[in-house]
Amino acid sequence: MKRDLEHLEQAALFEWAAWKSKQWGCLKLMFAIPNAQKFINASEEAKIRAISKMKAEGLRPGVPDIFLPVPDRFHNNSYCGLFIEMKVKPNKPTKEQMEWIDELAAMGYKAVVCYSFEEAKETICDYLGIEGE
């Protein structure tokens, strides 16, 4: 059930980004990073095949859900891009997710955990220096 809530929050974020991309074209560059958890309702055999294939293609546990490959030039923070890990409360990031967030931050990316569509939208707007409404 919580997985479905995360899906709805993330889908709402991408719907908002598509709408705002008419005004802020850089939002067209935002994309989701596939995660093996998306196959949770598949049969065990199908899930194993899909995850095995994804691992062979470079799937790494803990990688954040969303990436906006746009440098932050609006606040002089010099970030290389923005990574967002979507969660719904009371879920918390895994150890692997926090390790990725910390490593990405050390490499010059803004990397955060957001617990709702609204929080993710506000994070993106602040990062880009744009109005969200």
Domain limits, the chain: 2-35+61-128
Topology of 2-35+61-128 in CATH? Trna Endonuclease; Chain: A, domain 1 (3.40.1350)
pLDDT band for 107, please (50, 70, 90 cuts).
very high
* pTM (2 d.p.): 0.86
- Could you read off the pLDDT of 1-50 as tens digits, one per residue? 556 888 899 999 999 999 999 999 999 999 999 875 556 667 888 878 88
Taking CB atoms within 8 Å and a gap of at least 24, the contacts of 54-63 are 59/34, 59/35, 60/100, 61/36, 61/94, 61/96, 62/94, 62/95, 62/96, 62/97, 62/98, 62/99, 62/100, 63/33, 63/35, 63/100
